[in-house]
Amino acid sequence: MKSELHYFMRKLHHTTGPVLYWNVLGMVCIGLMEGIGIYMLVPMLSLIGIFDMGSSGIHLPWLSNFLHQFSQHNQLMLVLFTFVLIVSGQAWMQRLQTMRNVRIQQQFIRTLRMEAYSAILMAKWSFFLQKRKSDFNHILTTELARVSQGTSILLQMAASLVFTAIQIGLAFWLSARLTALVLVCGLVLFFLLRTFVKRAKRIGDQTTEFSQAYYNGITEHFNGIKDIKSNMLEHSHIHWFDRMCRQIERNVVQFSQLNTGTQLIHRVSAAFIIAAFIYLSLRVMSVPPASLLLIILIFSRLWPRFTAIQSNLEYISSMLPAFRIVRELQVQTENSREISEGNAEEPQSAATSAYAVEPMDFKESIRCQDIYYRYEGNDSYSLFNVCASIPAKSMTAIVGKSGAGKSTFIDLIMGLMRPESGSIQIDGKPLTEERLLSWRSSIGYVSQDPFLFHTSIRENLRLVDPDASEEQMWRALQFSASALFVRRLPQGMDTIIGDRGLRLSGGERQRLVLARAMLRNPSVLVLDEATSALDSENEQYIHEALERLKGHVTIIVIAHRLSTIRTADRVIVLEEGRVIQEGGYQQLSADPVGTFSRLLNMQAGAAGQ
């Protein structure tokens, strides 16, 4: 756990550089000025003879010689003026230092955010298969904010420690015995209260656990809101939410209880200790009243510092789980980087360089040889000894029942996942890590569940090609049979779509995503059941367009509706993760005992009913 704190402190140092040392220097100055301003007032007043401090006053002959040049009145004015000057200077520097702290903290959190976000985005696909998306939301918002807050408290504590050290030094100079006594009392109290710091960590663990459950819960509920509404599950979800909120409330109250509890102990002990001091000084040691004043002064300045350090320790302890979870994510994303080369310190640069990759010049074929693939945590293979070949510039259809391994096969071909054994060769050369991005940038992909961002249609299209001209965009829309409906929209291509925008039908969304894929001018177009939501008229349009593409672009389609692949040059039939048939559409449909003709007959039967 300490190593995480150490890691983030090192990172802070790396991010901010020399400013951090300026900050410490600033703290030393402020601490000195604060100490001098307050502590020195009484001794200085005694020096000019306002009252007598006996042996515990300050003995600076040069200062008293200097002051005695002036009249009594001017001496007082000089001392008071110096006091105002020091305290005001200290307040001014304090402000500068606070501002510097804020800047350091914000710069640090920005770096952490950027690193975490780009590292997540640059992770390989299998990483996302094992993770809950809401965990990313949770870490990027709540936990990173806690890390930032924790770092700020760490900086505050560093300042507190510097102040305290300076004040202890000054107090020692004024009265070593009394200061030693205060220090011993402080250390004993810290020792007695150390279990509270451990308890704060346990409360912090719960904070992380609850906020994670909260995020996961609400994300899931809003994703499934239609099911909740249509099955009237509102009440059970509200009940869950209420329970969650109460847990979070209890957790915060618990921490406050602990924190205010130790503060109370500190304050009450301070009262006891000071009462004991005064009693001992007056009754046992017969210390003069001015020295007593000094004891009270030292005590009243030092003790709140101890209290603040105790409180800071509890806060930091409660935030350690956030440090841990952010660090864990970092380690996981580092281990799951899609491209291992590049500068590990700057994932952003790797992210931007990925965009600069030239698409691969794909000419001959994709060959899969003896591919085995198993999802993490699964005992059985999702793809088993798969050998297949997809010729360039032709249309290949992948068919099979649901769960046969079609999407897995496509994901492997796109290089989103690596086969456990076997190889994928593009134009006779293995698909290695170095070729991965250039291969993927030559692919246009339309998924089963097409995703559009909450922005205009134009912006959605321009995501793949920021320089696309109006003409190119309309051509892509025309190709995907969406030009007509886009023209009919109230703001045409400027209509906002996506989450909170205009609601499009599944088919319309699919057509737009197809237009977006085409805008990239891909040499391979992958359609993962992309025509499943289209009506037969639009499906016909798309098929005509695909026909036009044949001979220019390699088309790979996963199709449920076998009618959509009539024109495929090649069909690969998968069953339970194995290729059981491979050949031309006509050839396979002519084989009366083959699985493909069985599938065809089943669909024909279903359509006839």
Q: List interacting residues with ligand ADP (CB under 6 A).
A: 129, 375, 378, 382, 400, 402-408
Q: How far is the CB of 386 from ligand ADP (least distance, A)?
A: 11
What sections of 122-143 are H helices per DSSP? Answer: 125-129, 133-138
Closer residue to ligand ADP in complex, CB, 377/490: 377
Of 167 and 510, the one with the shorter C-beta distance to ligand ADP is 510
Q: Which residue lies nearer to ligand ADP by CB, 34 or 529?
A: 529
Q: Which helix (H) or strand (E) holds 581?
A: strand 578-583
**What order do you get walking across the sheet with 383-391 strand by strand?**
383-391, 365-373, 421-426, 429-430
d(CA 134, CA 64) in angstroms, rounded, equals: 69
Rg (CA), the chain: 36
Using the minimum distance from each CB to ligand ADP, give the nearer residue, 117 or 381. 381
Q: Nearest distance from residue 577's CB to ligand ADP, in Å?
A: 7
Supply the minimum distance, in Å, between the C-beta of residue 405 and ligand ADP.
Answer: 4
What's the closest the beta carbon of residue 412 comes to ligand ADP, in angstroms?
Answer: 10
The minimum distance between CB 397 and ligand ADP, in angstroms, equals 13
The CA distances from residue 34 to 89, 91, 214, in Å, are: 9, 9, 45
CA distance linking residue 274 with residue 266, whole number of Å = 12
Name 269's Cβ contacts closer than 8 Å, sequence gap at least 6: 185, 189
Q: Is the dihedral of CA 216, 217, 220, 223 positive or negative?
A: negative
First to last CA, the chain: 65
Cross-strand bridge partners of residue 555 = 395, 525
CB of 602 to ligand ADP, least distance (A): 16
Which residue number, 404 or 426, has a Cβ lying nearer to ligand ADP? 404
Q: How far is the CB of 336 from ligand ADP (least distance, A)?
A: 15
Residue 339, SS3 per DSSP: coil
DSSP tag of 583: E
Separation in Å, CA 100 to CA 96, 109, 393, 535:
6, 14, 60, 62
Cβ proximity to ligand ADP: between 107 and 447 the closer is 447
Q: Shortest gap between Cβ of 407 and ligand ADP (angstroms)?
A: 3
Q: By C-beta, is 37 or 400 nearer to ligand ADP?
A: 400
Nearer to ligand ADP, 17 or 377 (CB): 377
Closer to ligand ADP by Cβ: residue 316 or 424: 424
CA angle 337, 340, 342 (to 5 degrees): 110
Dihedral in degrees, nearest 10, Cα atoms 210, 215, 219, 225: 50
Token representation of residue 4: 């995480």
The Cα angle at residue 392 between residues 546 and 481, in degrees rounded to 5 = 15
Residue 402 or 609: the one with the smaller Cβ distance to ligand ADP is 402
Distance of closest approach, residue 307 Cβ to ligand ADP, in angstroms: 52
Give the neighbor-by-neighbor strand order of the sheet with 554-558. Answer: 443-446, 524-528, 554-558, 395-399, 570-575, 578-583
State the nearest-atom distance from the C-beta of 401 to ligand ADP, in Å.
Answer: 7
Nearest approach in angstroms of CB 411 to ligand ADP is: 8
Nearest residue (CB) to ligand ADP, 54 versus 403: 403
Both structure tokens of 396: 């290949």
Exposed/middle/buried for residue 356 (C-beta within 10 Å: 0-12, 13-18, 19+): exposed
